[in-house]
Chain A
Amino acid sequence: MKLKKGIPVIDQGNKLGFWGGKFGGNFVPETLKKPIEDLEVLFNKLKKDKKFIQERDKYFKNWIGVPTRFIKLENLSRHVGGAQIWSKVVSDANGGAHKVYNATVHCLLAKRSGKKVIIGDTGAGYAGKMLSMAAKKFGLKCKIFMGAKDIARQQPNVKAMKKNGAEVVPVYSGSQTLVDAVSECMRFWVANCDTTAMCVGSTVGPAVFVRICGWSTSQISRELKVQLIDEFGSIPKKLKLYNCVGGGSSSFGFWNEFMDYDKKQCEFIGIEAGGPAKSKKHAAPLTYGSKIGILHGAAQYVNQNSDGQIEETESISAGLDYPGISPLHCFLKDTKRARYTAASDEQALEAYKLVTRFEKLRPSLEPSHAFAVAISESKKLSKDTIVVVNSCGDAYKDRGILEKRLGKKYVKSN
């Protein structure tokens, strides 16, 4: 299995949509074949269309507010005492997370295809919040599927969705988290694909959704590349990019523009959710060597039992609480371009405490997982190593959990 140079990774799949010949594809009911093919045709055409790119960039700039900041975490670096720790503050983006890029692009595509309704899944609530925002902006009706457990633990985002006029549909099946929300959203699409557009909230799902999402979030690394050159004159000799991985959309977007660099110069580190330290359950299929299987239309490494039933996950972070992982990351793992590891709930909370103690930055629980590993590895790295952590979400949505686990002071003081 080989990663090709000079070709965007999203376009390295084969005719049937498999990366590396085995990850991804389109394991979908017959009913969805046609709408998926229509979306593929539209996307392949528009991604080469200068006018469409201009339109996208216009909304990214004027509405999302790109570029997001690239800042040095001076105090944290000094405290840790190793590599220089920087952050790409993607949570600056309108709405407070990277999910806004994919949501915007899907709404633009939906408009072009003449659809009046757009549906989407959400775990942490950011994908849903952003889709509801974008749908409102572009005059589309919006329906968001969300696990009942996530509705309870991510209330600020649920309120935001409702305020934007979206209908939030609670999903009570299975573990009542993201995996069930995606399933229910796909079911709704099966029944309504003639009138409705679907947005998948991460680089997961049938191949075209993986590609659209990766294409959209790549905005992050396009900006970062420019910002690195502005800051250092060139791409640093020792660069390490840390990103949490749920479905894999922020990490993929954070890395994409650096894909062709040698990994000795530019290393990618993906951090999955290890779950509570005491629990056997986790949401880290790459770290713990889960077997390849099919989930939500794509072949990927996925937590499952020997019969092929998808296993329940557990994580403090709703956004990472997913048993599968993008086919793109399976591909990056097997070609050894990226390295994957996990952080536990407790480690993420500790990292959140440390970051907020030293910096004016409030990473949500998802990027706190990435900070945990970045901080611990930075200790052993040289001063000329540039560590960049994607702070891809804001902790406002986690106030309830943070207050419960860490006490009021961590919610108020920032």
Chain B
Amino acid sequence: MLNPISIAFKKAKQENRPALLTYTVAGDSSKKQSLRILKSISKNADILELGVPHNTPVADGSQIQTSAYRAIKNGIKVNDIFKIVKDFKKFDKNKPVILMGYYNMIFQYGENKFLNKCKLSGVNGLIIVDLPWPENKNFAKKCKKKSIYFIQLLSPTTTKIRLKKIIKDSHPMNYFISMLSTTGGKLKVSPNDILKNYSKIKRIDPKKEIVIGFGITEKTIGKLRPADGLVVGSAICKEISRSLKHRQNPVTNVSKLVKKLKSKIL
């Protein structure tokens, strides 16, 4: 059976648009709200990334940090995250879900046990921010055995030789970091330049899906249409924080935002 992630890319391609990937932090603002948000955005998002909150996130900017600290404060544990995914899959079983987080959380849980739980709850892919190639070779193999995509990160600093090696070892989906930045930075490179870098990477193996993330907002998403997929994270986390601050319902606000994002790439 084809991984639902690949099916999602196919479907987007048939519709002549990039796939829309959303990122929210599991347990933000609470376990229940987090699940409600996933359910409400799933009709407009093609792939759902769910962040595993960590309290020492060395690659996240302030918006995602705020979401992560809020989720941890509200008591989220790794097992709760699997439960959220499982409950979500009962609601929409074909929508792909990717967990994204830091390696220590997996290391403490135990790699094998973590992957078994992923499988049982319906996780389709993993992004581990601080487990780069080649350190991730072993773990990526374990993922493959479970038909879970291990998604490699590529950055503007990744050398050409390294790009080739990583892509050769990679699963069907990879993630290109648009610029030198933590998450949530302002887009400091023009969409055109990002797309130029993207094409260079894409040419190495055109069969592999490459999504672009970091710094993408309502304003910029439309200009990056040619990519296989586009990830929006901080802008969504920020919307949750904003809603809470104004005592508004984050579920409806985030849902509206995702709908708007989708409309820009149709």
Contacts and interface: CB of A to CB of B under 8 A. Distances in A.
B56 A310 contact: yes
A130 B59 CA distance: 26
A309 B60 CA distance: 15
Interface stretch (B152-160, B231-239, B249-257): B152-160
Given A30-B132, A293-B107, A174 B55 contact: yes
A3 B122 CA distance: 45
27 contacts: A16-B134, A16-B135, A25-B135, A26-B135, A27-B130, A28-B130, A29-B58, A29-B59, A30-B132, A30-B133, A30-B155, A30-B157, A32-B157, A33-B132, A33-B155, A34-B158, A34-B159, A187-B61, A190-B181, A191-B185, A193-B180, A194-B180, A293-B107, A295-B56, A295-B104, A308-B105, A309-B56
- Pick from B55, B56, B106 the residue with the most CB of A within 10 Å: B56
B23 interface: no
Contacts of A31: 59, 155-157, 177, 180
A30 B159 contact: no
Interface string B141-169: 00000000000011111110010000000
Contacts of A187: 58-61, 182
B49 to A, nearest CB: 16
Given A34-B158, A190-B182, A193-B157, A29 B130 contact: yes
A335 interface: no
A34 B157 CA distance: 6
A38 B48 CA distance: 36
Contact of A192 (B135, B162, B180): B180
A155 interface: no
A306 B109 CA distance: 8
Interface in A278-315: 291, 293-297, 304, 306-310
A116 to B, nearest CB: 16
Q: How large is the interface on A (under 10, 10 to 19, 20 to 34, 35 or more residues)?
A: 35 or more
Interface in B100-130: 102-109, 129-130
Contacts of A190: 58-59, 180-182
A179 B56 contact: yes
Interface of B: 54-61, 65, 69, 72, 77-78, 102-109, 129-135, 153-159, 162, 177, 180-182, 185
Contacts of B154: 30
A173 interface: yes
Interface string A189-216: 0111110000000000000000000000
Contacts of B132: 26, 28-30, 33
Nearest to A191: B181
A356 interface: no
Nearest to A28: B130
Contacts of B107: 293-294, 308
A183 interface: yes
4 smallest A-B Cβ distances: which pairs? A308-B108, A34-B157, A294-B104, A31-B155
Contacts of B158: 30, 33-34
Contact of A307 (B57, B78, B135): B78
Contacts of A296: 56, 58
B108 A293 contact: yes
B212 to A, nearest CB: 14
A110 interface: no
A186 B129 CA distance: 13
B182 A309 contact: no
